[in-house]
């Protein structure tokens, strides 16, 4: 098992037990880009240098600073900083660095998605903590409640929600860091310009029927990253010096009016909603892969950028 991201105590009144947190997500994108020079194809390196070295000698290469010489600084006055050492941050007196003290319980349904930030797996710290862990988990599941407290890691203190997993065979709990109220923008600023319209009862009934027909149990495995697949196709085309696949979307015809009721009726009847717009089905987004005369011309301009040989290897 991987190392826990955080370990400590969950405190509920006089009841406490040790837990370990593991990050529940991971990046699966296999496409990685590097910054390279368009002229030479060489990899671009970013170095940390002193601001004065760049300002005083803008035309000269500045000497890179050693990472041990770089510390955090808080600007308390224009151009003046107080230095904060890493050890000083580690020794900050924040109780939630070690203990999640549960301050209240709320209905799971009250946890609005916009407040949820990042998920974590929660497991007992060891076998001696398993009984208290299991009892609290079962109580949360039966009452459909979530425990709210605070946890400190990653340079800040987070609101933290603890819930029971649905699968009793696994017997684990989930934790979620949550956003603070002030981190969310005011929705009124974005929704206030929406035109107020009366909802037609027949349109509403048809829309509800359409939702009902397309409703299904959520299966996250059905959703794949098509953007990554398209990028991979682009990369492979460039490597093989082949025509680059392009998106082709038909521009909407001017003056075209879509009748909402017709679109809803035909959608419920099993036809594509877009087909009702002008009597014919609108072509879907397509990828051009066939080599046309235009594509042949385009092919000549496609080439790989090879890194310029620099003789000896230089360290960054």
Q: Is residue 299 part of a domain?
A: no
Q: Is residue 152 part of a domain?
A: yes
Q: Is residue 165 part of a domain?
A: yes
Residue 253 has a pLDDT of 61
Residue 49 has a pLDDT of 84
Classify 44 as helix, strand or coil: coil
Number of domains in the chain: 1
CA–CA dist 207, 261 (Å, integer): 9
Q: Is residue 98 part of a domain?
A: yes
Mean pLDDT, consecutive 10-residue stretches, the chain (316 aa), reads 92 96 86 88 86 77 83 91 90 94 97 96 96 97 97 95 94 97 93 93 93 91 85 88 82 66 85 43 42 43 50 44
Q: Is residue 216 part of a domain?
A: no
Q: Which residues, in sequence order, are CB contacts of 299 under 8 Å at separation 6+? A: 241, 242, 243, 291
Residue 309 has a pLDDT of 54
Q: Is residue 251 part of a domain?
A: no
CA–CA dist 173, 124 (Å, integer): 9
pTM: 0.72
Q: Which residue has the tokens 């003789």?
A: 311
Q: Is residue 249 part of a domain?
A: no
Residue 254 has a pLDDT of 59
Cβ atoms of 50 and 60 within 8 Å: the answer is no
Residue 113 has a pLDDT of 94
List, in sequence order, every residue forming a beta bridge with 286; answer none if it has no partner.
Answer: 248
Residue 33 has a pLDDT of 87
Q: Is residue 18 part of a domain?
A: yes
- Percentages helix, strand, coil for the chain (3-state, rounded to 5) are 30, 25, 45
Tokens of 56: 């005083």
Question: Which structural domain range is residue 143 located in?
Answer: 6-27+92-182
CATH number for the domain that contains residue 156: 2.40.290.10
Residue 48 has a pLDDT of 86
Residue 140 has a pLDDT of 97
């Amino acid at each position: 098992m991987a190392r826990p991201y955080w370990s400590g105590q969950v405190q509920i009144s006089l009841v406490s037990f040790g837990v370990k947190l593991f990050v529940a997500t991971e990046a699966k994108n296999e496409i990685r880009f590097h910054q390279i020079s368009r002229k030479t194809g060489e990899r671009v390196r970013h170095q940390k240098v002193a601001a004065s070295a760049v300002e005083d000698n803008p035309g000269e290469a500045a000497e890179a600073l050693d990472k041990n010489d770089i510390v955090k600084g808080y600007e308390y006055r224009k151009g003046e900083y107080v230095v904060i050492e890493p050890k000083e941050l580690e020794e900050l007196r924040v109780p939630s660095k070690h203990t999640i003290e549960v301050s209240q319980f709320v209905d799971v349904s009250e946890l609005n998605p916009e407040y949820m930030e990042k998920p974590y797996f929660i497991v007992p710290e060891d076998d001696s903590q398993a009984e208290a862990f299991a009892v609290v988990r079962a109580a949360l599941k039966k009452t459909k409640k979530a425990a709210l407290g605070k946890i400190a890691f990653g340079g800040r203190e987070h609101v933290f929600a603890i819930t029971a997993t649905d699968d009793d065979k696994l017997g684990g709990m989930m934790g979620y860091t949550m956003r603070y109220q002030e981190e969310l923008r005011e929705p009124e600023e974005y929704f206030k310009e929406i035109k107020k319209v009366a909802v037609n009862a027949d349109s509403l009934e048809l829309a509800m029927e359409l939702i009902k027909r397309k409703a299904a149990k959520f299966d996250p495995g059905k959703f794949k990253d098509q953007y990554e697949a398209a990028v991979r196709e682009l990369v492979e085309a460039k490597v093989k010096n082949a025509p680059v696949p392009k998106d082709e979307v038909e521009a909407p015809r001017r003056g075209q009016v879509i009748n909402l009721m017709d679109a809803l009726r035909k959608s419920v009847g099993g036809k594509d909603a877009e087909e009702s717009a002008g009597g014919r089905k609108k072509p879907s987004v397509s990828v051009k892969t066939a080599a046309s005369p235009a594509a042949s011309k385009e092919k000549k301009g496609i080439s790989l950028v090879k890194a310029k040989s620099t003789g000896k290897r230089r360290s960054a």
